[in-house]
Amino acid sequence: MADYTLSVCAEMVFLDLPLISRVERIHALGFGVEIWGWADKDITALAATGARFTSMTGYLTGTLTDEEGIAQLLASAERSLAVAAQLNCPSLNLHGTGLDARGLPVKPVEVVTGQMWLQAADTLRQLAQLGERAGRVFTLENLNLAVDHPGTPFARAADTLALVEAVNSPALKMNLDLYHAQIGEGNLIALLRRCGPAIGEIQVADVPGRQQPGTGEINYRAIARALEQMHYRGVVALEGWATGDSTEALAQFRDHFTC
């Protein structure tokens, strides 16, 4: 068995069950649990499940590059850190800008300027300082522009890597989402090796369809071997839909990452 932790996003599997029941089911199957936004959730009930939470969204609203958005982002990140403490959740996820309920940017960007890059790095430095004080890690997730998140700034894995390396803090890492990276960049094993110590978490789903490994074009068994060769010890999380039965989909996910 690999030395990394397998986790599952409760927002995307067992959809016939209430969220608390989904968390309990995922936990009972031996996986860690991830959630998205926390504002609409019963945090006390989530904590009472005894599940190991590995990641949650680290903000409610905000952006990385404009004054009003930065203030919102920092304020909601502090509130998110308090929730993460209740759940004992080590990682809080960020995006290049705030996303709406459909996953689209609240402020779409066509051209990312040099000034925006500098402002984003400065904002992420401030977030990393919040994370360091709280003993938590913020992770910056790459997204794809072609299918799911058009208009999102700093979306490519190359962009998130550049920002994480510029900030150079143990409290800011990449959430390297291989589903998004396959659509946007490809060459996944070379990408993993290039990102190396900048990775705080890896998220997976197959392409096309954003479903469990083994349903599409990505060779996740080769990905698992590469992670073993890299001595990766972090989280690998399924953030994808199940084809058919969720229990079977999770078993298929585990099988692909059991070396």
d(CA 256, CA 33) in angstroms, rounded, equals 18
Decide if 11 is catalytic: no
Peptide bond into 170 cis (omega under 30): no
Q: At residue 219, what are phi and psi to the nearest 5 degrees?
A: -85, 85
Coil/strand/helix, residue 36: coil
Choose the catalytic residue: 24, 34, 201, 239: 239
Return the beta strands (E) in the chain as ranges.
5-9, 32-34, 53-57, 91-94, 137-141, 172-177, 199-204, 235-238
Coil/strand/helix, residue 125: helix
d(CA 232, CA 219) in angstroms, rounded, equals 18
Decide if 201 is catalytic: no
Do residues 238 and 250 touch, judged by C-beta distance below 8 A?
yes
d(CA 3, CA 234) in angstroms, rounded, equals 8
Residue with tokens 């589903």: 179
Choose the catalytic residue: 141, 165, 185, 201: 141
d(CA 121, CA 95) in angstroms, rounded, equals 13
> Which alpha helices (H) appear in 67-217, and where do they start and end?
67-87, 114-134, 157-167, 178-184, 188-195
Do residues 240 and 12 touch, judged by C-beta distance below 8 A?
yes
Nearest to 226 by CA among 247, 185, 256: 256
Q: Catalytic amino acids?
A: 141, 239
